[in-house]
Chain A
Amino acid sequence: QKEVEQNSGPLSVPEGAIASLNCTYSDRVSQSFFWYRQYSGKSPELIMSIYSNGDKEDGRFTAQLNKASQYVSLLIRDSQPSDSATYLCALTQPDFGNEKLTFGTGTRLTIIP
């Protein structure tokens, strides 16, 4: 089982609708969770981080974390064409006294005007 799993997509959502992106992980001791957005040919950029169970909202973005079920999700409200990108889920895990940061393979999101 992969440490971090995402549906590769593509996920197509009409403009103005809610886009829902999901990520599951295998290691129960994972500590911190991040969502990065990557436009084609560009570097990833952080859009949300979440550390405790529940919801965290930032503008049109909401991150949801459920450690018992080992998933983290990202909701994008009022989707815009500029939201079309690949979304990468990442998490940290303890690693022999250090901390390992692992990425999922990403979900490609397309917003349809």
Chain B
Amino acid sequence: DADVTQTPRNRITKTGKRIMLECSQTKGHDRMYWYRQDPGLGLRLIYYSFDVKDINKGEISDGYSVSRQAQAKFSLSLESAIPNQTALYFCAARATNTGELFFGEGSRLTVL
């Protein structure tokens, strides 16, 4: 079983729709992250959380919101999706002792 699981893996939606991407992890790591990846731009941090009820903005948080419902769950929402939010989204959990990031398999979102 994957340590970090993302759903859905693929989603096509229309401009203006609300979208939620969900992430859960089985390793008990406190720190969780949401990144988006675009060709030529690498991984850019959207939001991160160091514990339940701890939410921090990353470099590109505008247009996104997150919820850390439990230690194991960290969801990303697009309240009103727009085409330039079309991207590959990764959730990750970070081991405190080694600093290693464990990534989910990614959620490919297309906004028409």
Partner of A43, one of B41, B56, B90, B100: B90
The proximity string for B residues 41-55 relative to A, scoring 1 for CB distances below 8 Å and 0 otherwise, is: 111110000100000
Q: Does A26 contact B (CB under 8 A)?
A: no
Q: Closest approach, in angstroms, between the C-beta of B6 and any C-beta of chain A?
A: 9
User: Given the complex, which residues of B lie within 8 Å of A42, measured CB to CB?
Assistant: 105-106
Interface residues of B in 1-43 (CB under 8 A from A): 33, 35, 40-43
A23 to B41 CA separation, bound complex (whole angstroms): 15
A-B residue pairs in contact (CB < 8 Å), sample of 17: A8-B40, A34-B100, A34-B101, A42-B106, A43-B105, A44-B90, A44-B103, A45-B103, A46-B100, A46-B101, A49-B99, A98-B50, A101-B94, A102-B45, A103-B44, A104-B42, A105-B41
Interface residues on A, range: 20 to 34
The answer on a CB contact under 8 Å between B106 and A43 is yes
Give B residues with C-beta under 8 Å from A.
33, 35, 40-45, 50, 56, 90, 94, 98-101, 103-106
Q: How far is the CB of A29 from chain B (nearest CB, A)?
A: 16
- Chain A residue contacts of B43, Cβ below 8 A: 44, 88, 103
Which residues of chain A (1-31) have a CB below 8 Å from chain B?
8
Interface of A is mostly: strand
Residue on B nearest A32 in the bound complex, by CB:
B99
**Docked CA distance A51–B50 (Å):** 21
Query: Would A106 and B90 be within 8 Å (CB), given that A34-B100, A101-B33 are in contact?
Result: no
Q: CA A43 – CA B90 in complex, angstroms?
A: 8
Residue numbers in B under 8 Å from A43 (CB-CB): 90, 103-106
